[in-house]
Amino acid sequence: MKIGVPTERTPGESRVALIPESVGRLAKAGVTVLIERGAGLRAGFPDTAYEKAGGTLATQAEALSADLVAKVQKPSAAEVAQMAAGSHLIALLQPSSSGEAIQALDARGVTAFALELVPRITRAQSMDVLSSQATVAGYKAVLIGSAELVKFLPMLTTAAGTIAPSKVCVLGAGVAGLMAIATARRLGAVVSGFDIRAAAAEQIKSLGASVVAENLISADSQGAGGYAKEQSAEQQAAIQEALKAHLAGMDLVITTAQVPGRTAPRLISTATIQTMAPGSVIVDLAAETGGNCEPTKAGETVDVNGVKVIGPVNLAATMPNHASAMLSRNILTFVQHLLTKEGTLNVDRADEITGAMIVTGRPAA
C-alpha cells in the first residue's frame, strides 16, 4: 500500500501531516510512503530526514495519487482532481463548512476521514487531533498576549522597586484553556479561570489558578464527549454579567470557549471591554468560529478604547515543528487502526472510530 504526503498549499499552513519518525514506523510495517519534495521543510523536517526514515521522495501528483493521502488541510479542487478513484484521504476537513469540497471528494470516489470527528472515547485518545493542536494554541496565545501587553507578567523585585505581577483570566478550561493557564502560571502571572463545566473547576484549581463565578458552574452543562453544551440566552447573559466585574481588573484575558459545530458563545461584550484598563489585551481563540468577544475579527487586532482584542487564526501553524509532531502521531495511530497485518486498509464503517470519521460515501438514511 502507498501513503502520499503532499506539501500543504493552503495560505499560512506550514505543518506537515507525517513527520520522519512516523514515516519510519510505517515503512517498517511494509507501507510505501511517498513524500512530496519539500513537504516538511517549513516545519523543520528536510527531505534527507524522510529518506533516512525510509520514505520515498515524490512529485505532488505521485503523492496525491496514492492509495491513502494524508494532509493537514482539506484539498483544493485541483488536488481532488489528482486523487485516484477509490482512494482514501485523512485531513482536517471542516465538514460543517466544507460541503463543496466533500461533494467533490464523494464524486471522485474518495473515502475521506475528517480528523475533527475522532470520537472522544478512551481508545481514540491518541488520535485526538483537536486536543493536540489546541495544546499549541493555548500555549501560543499566552505568548502573543504577553508580547502585546504593556506590562511584565511576573512579579519583579528590582533596585527601582517592586513590579506587581499581571493578572490573567482564561475563559474556557478545555485543552487550550488549561494549557494557557499553565503557561501563564509558569510565566509568573496571577491567574484565574472560568468554565461552565463542573469537572473544569477542579482542573483549574489543580494548576494553581482561582475559579471565577463558581456559582454559575452547572453539573448538567457538559454534553457528549466532555464538551460544553450550548447555553441559553439567559444563561449567557448571566455569565456575561458575572464576568464583567472580574474582567475589569484583568491585564490579559484569553478566551477559548467553543461548542463543536456551532458559533462560539458570546462571553464578553464591547461594554465589558470598555471597563478594562487601556493597555490590556484579549486573545480570542474562538475567532474562527465567531469569537467569544463582541468586537472580535478573525485574523485581525481590534482596538476598543485602548484595549487590544486579538483574533488569531490557525495558531498551530505558527509552531509547525511540534504541532506537526503531535498531528503526525495522531494520524499514525489512526492509520495503524485501519491497517491489517498484511499491510492493507480495512475500512470498517461499523467500527465506532472509523465510521464516525467518514464524511463521504455515507449510505442513504
17-49 per-position pLDDT tens digit: 999 999 999 999 999 999 999 999 999 999 999
Question: What pLDDT digit, counting tens, does each position of 165-214 carry?
Answer: 999 999 999 999 999 999 999 999 999 999 988 888 899 999 999 999 88
Say how far apart CA 267 and CA 291 lie, in whole Å. Answer: 9
pLDDT at 224: 53
The cell numbers describing 238, all together, are: 448571566
* 138-143 mean pLDDT: 98
Minimal CA–CA distance to 186: which of 151, 140, 138, 154? 154
Instruction: Clarify whether 251 is annotated catalytic.
Output: no
pLDDT tier for residue 153 given thresholds of 50, 70 and 90 = very high
* 130-141 mean pLDDT: 97
Say how far apart CA 211 and CA 191 lie, in whole Å. Answer: 9
* 2-117+319-357: CATH topology: Rossmann fold (3.40.50)
Number of helices followed by number of strands (H, E) in the chain? 12, 15
Cite the residue boundaries of each domain of the chain with CATH code 3.40.50.720.
2-117+319-357, 137-317
pLDDT at 227: 55
Do the beta carbons of residue 90 and residue 27 sit within 8 Å?
Answer: no
Catalytic entry in 120, 186, 235, 236: 120
Q: What is the CATH number of domain 137-317?
A: 3.40.50.720
The percent of residues above 70 in pLDDT, for the chain, comes to: 95
Instruction: Clarify whether 125 is annotated catalytic.
Output: yes
Gyration radius from the chain CA atoms: 22
Catalytic entry in 98, 131, 222, 236: 131
Say how far apart CA 183 and CA 320 lie, in whole Å. Answer: 19
* 95-106 mean pLDDT: 88
CB atoms within 10 A of CB 194: 29
pLDDT at 237: 79
Report the run of H or E that residue 161 belongs to, with start and end: strand 161-163
Please list the alpha-helical segments (H only) found in 29-128: 47-53, 60-64, 77-82, 99-108
pTM beyond 0.85, yes or no: yes
Instruction: Clarify whether 139 is annotated catalytic.
Output: no
Catalytic entry in 14, 82, 108, 128: 128
Per the model's pLDDT, the better-predicted residue between 139 and 365 turns out to be 139
Indicate whether 364 pLDDT > 60. Answer: no
